[in-house]
Structure 1
């Protein structure tokens, strides 16, 4: 579970990066969101940067989306990359360690795969092909906001035969849940910018 101090650090880091970009005016800061407006547009665009550092339900996400539509805002979600609630590696999901449907991939690729949680899948529908995560500082990684291309994982159930358990439900093709992330951007040495995607959502990029 992410501690209160870790949640505060996430929000503080995001605020600092937004201010450093010189593109946004920070209007309000709460424990799970940062409200900013663009400085360069003729008509400023208000953006809610949503710090998702703990599990929230689909209804809460929909509430943010509906409010954004009413207020003509954008919602830019950032997940806390803790490997437990979000950015869960497939190798850490015990039931998937011997998943035969991934036979097209090397052990190294499977080790890199993630198993999207429900909220990540909901956000991905609007921000695909990317998802954005806050990376806390660890022994191996620097603190930063990292954006990943969540590449499709293709499932192959050719090992199943009629009568095998799961045969009637198995479908070859792209998985909605499993992704092979490839980092494309990090804010360790750059600044945050935000661009619209689908609906009222936006994605984080580097300047």
Structure 2
């Protein structure tokens, strides 16, 4: 157990930045940051590097598209241009359409507030089902959203998806969500999950964790 906690400490310190933190999202249980996380999850769902997806999200935020209303009111070309400035070029036109349609869905069904989605859902599987109704959010995007939101939607915690478990296994850590969660304080669990995901995406175990 002591060895596992040493690994966890190093993992969080060096690789525990969540995608939301990387994109500059101050994640709270309020409408704007929850929508921004949904937008980021959409961008991360494509077959494109996570750094590019994060850069594109930052560019969309800088352009003022931080809420469903702002995203819906932006022109299709404005969204394409913002994605292009973030180097999200392979999927920019398709993604511009998905972001516009997703913003409209958020407004029409949830009044722009994803807390309403959370309240409507009966459990984790229901949350993921509702998330997948948004254009561009499949199982990957729903997993990304749940991994990161569990720090504020604490009823979803501890949440571990297949990618998190893969990273934990590479590090010799428990792959069961409850067992993995025992290694950290609840507030640190999303960062532990983020670190495991980054390890899972690495071809080799990072040198500083060997």
Higher-strand-fraction structure: 1
Greater helix content? 2
| TM-based fold match above 0.5 | no
Looking at CA atoms only, which structure, 1 or 2, has the larger radius of gyration?
1
Give the alignment's TM-score, normalised by structure 2. Answer: 0.28
